[in-house]
């Protein structure tokens, strides 16, 4: 940036013209180049020399000395103020740079193209000075005057609006930048996604993520973000469709990802599909055949009304589990199949292992198994124990009354 500062010819389209320049009359431009007296021109040359030597403080002092004498020459004043702005900018003094450039614009002496460029530079300086509201105003003024805007300044204005909490406006500017670029960068789409999300426009957020996926189909982060947006919008069907597509494309490789897909299928009531997925992936060793995954598989088969398949899996899970909870579920499933000997065995082992959330439920089922096996004495004992747990008391007492009626009938 330092080498770019040539004080006498910094701004395209404007140049200082020394009196008596034989070439001056050859230019027939709409905005005539400003002219200064010879002694002032020599001061400009001295300032340029100081800048070349990085003597910025002395160069600024000379500029400040010259400014009052140029009030009668607005075009020359505007050019000198633009150079002062650049001098401050070279030193990263962005607030004074912006102030000087705003004074240059206030002269209204800049040609239209130069004024447009000055509005852009002013917005950049204000942004660098963290003065976001005037930065937004300046960059908006540049955009209004620019029929064919380049994408980068549009993105800067988008970021400025985002700093001010104007996320919807910022998102539209990011969309404009993407549309104006033949090769939009992926991070521009990600920025747009973040803006739409901050603006609570989940539909536009999903569309932007879909466009990003088109550009980066192999990046699972984009797909997972799209799933998250659909879930946040309550569109569970669309979220599931994305997961299933990822699975078909081979993008779900971890056990966690595959189990999440199975859970999503179950949530949508697709229990058979969830069970088939888990069984296949457990068989391929991509999902570990531990007790938790086997229980999930068994529950999926149960909810799919495939009880024979469920008990086969529960037998495997019970062999791995420490407590009695899995055997209790195994006893429940055997009870639904009316396989009372195996239900009895599973429930007795469940109670023996302990750790049950609802032991009264296991005792109630065990009593029913004893009853079906014509062991009414054991059934009565089980029901008496089951009724000590409040949640099962009423059912247990009904069974006890049923046993009493049986006993009365058998006594006659």
pLDDT tens by residue, 291-332: 999 999 999 999 999 999 999 999 999 999 888 999 999 999
Residues 215, 191 share a domain: yes
Count how many residues are written for the chain.
412
CATH code, 13: 1.25.40.10
206 lies in some domain: yes
Give the Cβ contact number of residue 388 at 10 Å. 12
Residues 245, 126 share a domain: no
Q: What is the dihedral of CA 296, 299, 300, 306, to 10 degrees?
A: 140
Residues 88, 1 share a domain: yes
Residues 247, 176 share a domain: yes
| Per-residue pLDDT at 45 | 84
State the residue range of the domain holding 42: 1-136
Q: What is the 3-state secondary structure (H, E, C) of 185-196?
A: CHHHHHHHHHHH
- Contact in structure between 139 and 119 (CB atoms under 8 Å): yes
Residues 8, 132 share a domain: yes
Question: Which SS3 state, helix, strand or coil, does residue 17 take?
Answer: strand
334 lies in some domain: no
Residues 132, 64 share a domain: yes
| Per-residue pLDDT at 326 | 94
| Per-residue pLDDT at 120 | 97
Tabulate helix, strand, coil % of the chain (nearest 5).
75, 0, 25
Measured distance CA(227)–CA(225) in Å, rounded: 5
120 lies in some domain: yes
What domain count does the chain have? 2
Residues paired with 17 in a beta bridge: 35
Going by C-beta distance under 8 Å and a sequence separation of 6 or more, which residues neighbour residue 341? Answer: 373
State the sign of the Cα–Cα–Cα–Cα dihedral 121, 123, 124, 125. Answer: positive
Q: Which one of 251, 284, 319 terminates a domain?
A: 251
Residues 213, 165 share a domain: yes
What is the distance of C-alpha 159 from the center of its chain?
A: 17
Question: Which SS3 state, helix, strand or coil, does residue 35 take?
Answer: strand
Measured distance CA(112)–CA(86) in Å, rounded: 19
Residues 118, 215 share a domain: no
Residues 173, 127 share a domain: no
Of the CA atoms within 13 Å of residue 317, those in its CB half-sphere come to 27
Measured distance CA(351)–CA(328) in Å, rounded: 8
Locate 197 and state its tokens.
């999300």
| Per-residue pLDDT at 20 | 31
12 lies in some domain: yes
Of the CA atoms within 13 Å of residue 28, those in its CB half-sphere come to 0
108 lies in some domain: yes
385 lies in some domain: no
Task: Tell which phi-psi region holds residue 290, choosing left (phi > 0), alpha (psi between -120 and 50) or beta.
Answer: beta
Angle (deg, nearest 10), helices 112-128 and 74-90: 30
351 lies in some domain: no
346 lies in some domain: no
| Per-residue pLDDT at 51 | 87
Residues 154, 132 share a domain: no
| Per-residue pLDDT at 150 | 95
End-to-end CA distance of the chain: 112
Going by C-beta distance under 8 Å and a sequence separation of 6 or more, which residues neighbour residue 349? Answer: 318, 324, 327
Residues 228, 158 share a domain: yes
Q: Which one of 251, 275, 291 terminates a domain?
A: 251
Locate 257 and state its tokens.
């990802």
pLDDT along the chain (412 residues), means of 10: 32 31 34 62 83 90 91 88 92 96 96 95 97 98 96 97 97 95 93 96 95 92 95 95 95 93 95 97 95 95 96 94 92 96 96 92 96 95 93 94 89 70
Residue bearing tokens 């069974």: 399
Residues 209, 95 share a domain: no
Distances (CA, A) of 334 to 230, 244, 306, 309, 386: 40, 33, 12, 11, 19
Q: Which one of 188, 218, 251 terminates a domain?
A: 251
């Amino acid at each position: 940036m330092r080498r770019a500062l040539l004080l006498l010819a910094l701004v395209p389209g404007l140049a200082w013209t020394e009196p008596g320049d034989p070439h001056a009359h050859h230019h027939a431009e709409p905005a005539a180049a400003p002219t200064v007296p010879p002694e002032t021109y020599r001061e400009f040359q001295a300032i340029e020399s100081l800048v070349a030597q990085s003597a910025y403080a002395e160069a600024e002092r000379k500029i400040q000395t010259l400014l009052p004498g140029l009030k009668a020459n607005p075009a020359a004043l505007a050019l000198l103020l633009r150079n002062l702005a650049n001098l401050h900018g070279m030193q990263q003094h962005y607030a004074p740079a912006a102030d000087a450039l705003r004074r240059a614009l206030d002269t209204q002496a800049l040609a239209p193209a130069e004024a447009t460029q000055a509005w852009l530079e002013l917005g950049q300086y204000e942004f660098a000075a963290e003065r976001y509201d005037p930065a937004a105003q300046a960059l908006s003024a540049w955009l209004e005057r620019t029929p064919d805007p380049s994408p980068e300044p549009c993105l800067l204005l988008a970021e400025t609006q985002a700093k001010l909490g104007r996320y919807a406006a910022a998102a539209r500017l990011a969309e404009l930048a993407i549309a104006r670029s033949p090769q939009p960068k992926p991070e521009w789409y990600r920025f747009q996604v973040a803006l739409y999300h901050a603006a609570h426009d989940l539909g536009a957020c999903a569309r932007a993520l879909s466009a990003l996926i088109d550009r980066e189909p192999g990046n699972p982060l984009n797909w997972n973000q799209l799933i998250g947006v659909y879930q946040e919008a309550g569109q569970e069907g669309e979220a599931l469709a994305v997961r299933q597509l990822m699975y078909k494309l081979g993008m779900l490789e971890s056990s966690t990802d595959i189990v999440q897909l199975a859970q999503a299928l179950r949530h949508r009531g697709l229990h058979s599909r969830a069970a088939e997925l888990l069984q296949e992936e457990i068989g391929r060793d991509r999902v570990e055949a531990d007790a938790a995954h086997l229980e999930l598989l068994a529950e999926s088969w149960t909810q799919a009304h495939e009880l024979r398949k469920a008990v086969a899996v529960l037998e495997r899970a019970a062999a791995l589990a420490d407590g009695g909870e899995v055997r209790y579920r195994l006893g429940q499933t055997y009870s639904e199949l009316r396989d009372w000997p195996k239900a009895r065995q599973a429930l007795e082992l469940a109670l023996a292992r302990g750790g049950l959330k609802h032991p009264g439920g296991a005792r109630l089922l065990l009593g029913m198994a004893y009853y079906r096996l014509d062991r009414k004495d054991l059934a009565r004992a089980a029901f008496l124990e089951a009724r000590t747990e409040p949640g099962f008391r009423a059912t247990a007492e009904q069974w006890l009354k049923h046993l009493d009626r049986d006993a009365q009938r058998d006594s006659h």
